[in-house]
Amino acid sequence: MVEQDGVKAQIGVTGLAVMGRNLARNLARHGYRVALHNRSWEKTASLVAEHGDEGTFVPGRTMADFVASLERPRTVVVMVKAGAATDAVIDELVELLEPGDIVVDAGNAHFPDTARREQALSARGLHFVGTGVSGGEEGALNGPSIMPGGTPESYRTLGPMLEAISAKVDGVPCCTHVGPGAAGHFVKMVHNGIEYADMQLIAEAYDLLRQGLGADAARIAGIFADWNTGDLESYLIEITADVLAHTDPVTGAAFVDVVLDQAEQKGTGRWTVQAALDLGVPVTGIAEATFARGLSGSVPQRAAGAGLPADVEPWAVADAEAFVADVRAALYASKVVAYSQGFEQIAAGSAQFGWGIDRGAMARIWRGGCIIRAKFLDRITQAYAQDPELPLLIADPYFARVVGDGLAAWRRVVAAAVTHGVPTPAFSSSLAYYDGVRAPRLPAALIQAQRDFFGAHTYRRTDRDGVFHTDWSGDRAERQA
């Protein structure tokens, strides 16, 4: 139904490309009266023409019409291209809004941009809610995972609407107030970083199965379908089985075999790694996944490296069943490490910016709607429920046990990959992280000594408090700094 005269909308969406269009339809299907706007009228018109019967829409040709059609306090969802387009829309909007109104940026903004925008809008008495939305266009229409930041006050108005349109798992909405300020976009960024790691790990498992078993894509599809019935049950494993089973209609070959092996990225993985470096959090799984995409797209380097020797024996796994079980265990353990690192980054960001993020709640709202939805997120919620301050997810009793149970398999798989020249950066680095974080003593002691030697950077001692320097170029006497 299209309302033109007098009826005010409860929420508005500006930016009606795939995401905004589907979010607007989702809101309308849930009974909300939705104002519509897009820079160019065609998208608004086609939404109304094609889906006007799904609920109550109030289309606006201009931003002024759009704003005027909203109930007060007004709630406007901005769903345009992240970056300059978002700033352009916000600049236009703020001139038309009044104190108490809420501007929701549901695009994939970089969290420092969200912090900047929130500061600027709160100075005008407006609420600015940077909101992560995951699940792609299908999720936006049928129930995404939603990660809103901003003030608790704005969540009182916005929360019920967002919870209503979000995915539900066991009747629980996949949406909660993440925290103030840019917390929502920060968590969405880390979510995407974890997604990078998860996808890379799955790709490495596929490569190992392919090379170790000499199996074709269809056989590996069956293995992934089987894995999707256990601990690894997740959207990404499910679609992997689906993709691997797909035949290219043009050539009749396995679809995966005709896709160019150069992975692209939109930048959220890179942002996650950059933020992790700033926070000093070792997100090795996410970093390796991001770099692996970079390597795949390094065309001149790959051309130059293509002739380099491998010096490896041909690989033929003797016990296929045992090997598949090993790869499954290695995948699960590496995945737990990647998530553990991501949750550590959320804790570090939350501490740095004073967001008070409940990590268990983040795992809960990722159980449905989003790309990394997975059965084992329930276990993560339980781990943080038992200990909200848990410093290391893999040290939680449940995860320590399952990772420990798979440890021998994990080592066999990484060793085999190295022996046979199969690149497994995420599997290998996750195992190295595990061994590093559990080690009673690290060679970092030597690094500290070297730093003191060449740069007088000082060191601390195991046996005494204080900061020390050794006079390396002189008499080598130690003095307290």
User: What's the CA angle centered on 395, arms 391 and 398, to 5 degrees?
Assistant: 125
Per CB under 6 A, which region of 10-18, 59-67, 277-285, 356-364 contacts ligand NBP? 10-18
Complex with ligand NBP: residue 66 or 227, whichever CB lies closer: 66
What tokens were used for 368? 């449905």
Per CB under 6 A, which region of 78-86, 233-241, 243-251, 374-382 contacts ligand NBP? 78-86
State yes or no: is 195 an active-site residue.
yes
Q: Tell whether residue 82 is a contact of ligand NBP (CB under 6 A).
A: yes
Q: Tell whether residue 20 is a contact of ligand NBP (CB under 6 A).
A: yes
Q: Tell whether residue 18 is a contact of ligand NBP (CB under 6 A).
A: yes
- State which of positions 97-136 bind ligand NBP (CB under 6 A): 107-108, 133, 136
Binder among 17, 64, 258, 467 for ligand NBP (CB under 6 A) = 17
CA-to-CA dists, residue 65 to 38, 73, 121, angstroms = 12, 16, 21
Q: Shortest Cβ distance from residue 343 to ligand NBP (Å)?
A: 21
C-alpha count within 13 angstroms, C-beta hemisphere, residue 13: 29
The CB-nearest residue to ligand NBP is 107
Q: Tell whether residue 16 is a contact of ligand NBP (CB under 6 A).
A: yes
State yes or no: is 188 an active-site residue.
yes
Binder among 71, 137, 207, 378 for ligand NBP (CB under 6 A) = 137
What x-and-dash track marks residues 31-70 binding ligand NBP by CB under 6 A?
-------xxx--x---------------------------
> Count H helices, E strands: the chain?
21, 11
Q: Shortest Cβ distance from residue 188 to ligand NBP (Å)?
A: 8
CA-to-CA dists, residue 281 to 274, 344, 433, angstroms = 10, 7, 12
Q: How many residues bind ligand NBP (CB under 6 A)?
A: 22
Contact 76, 69 (CB under 8 A): no
C-alpha count within 13 angstroms, C-beta hemisphere, residue 355: 27
Closest CA to 135 of 85, 188, 182, 187: 188
β-bridge partners, 75 = 102
What tokens were used for 371? 């790309």
Backbone angles phi, psi at 271, to 5 degrees: -60, -40
Name the active-site residue from 195, 204, 288, 344. Answer: 195
β-bridge partners, 57 = 2, 34
Q: Shortest Cβ distance from residue 224 to ligand NBP (Å)?
A: 23
Residues with catalytic function: 188, 195
Binding site for ligand NBP (CB under 6 A): 15-20, 38-40, 43, 79-82, 85, 88-89, 107-108, 133, 136-137
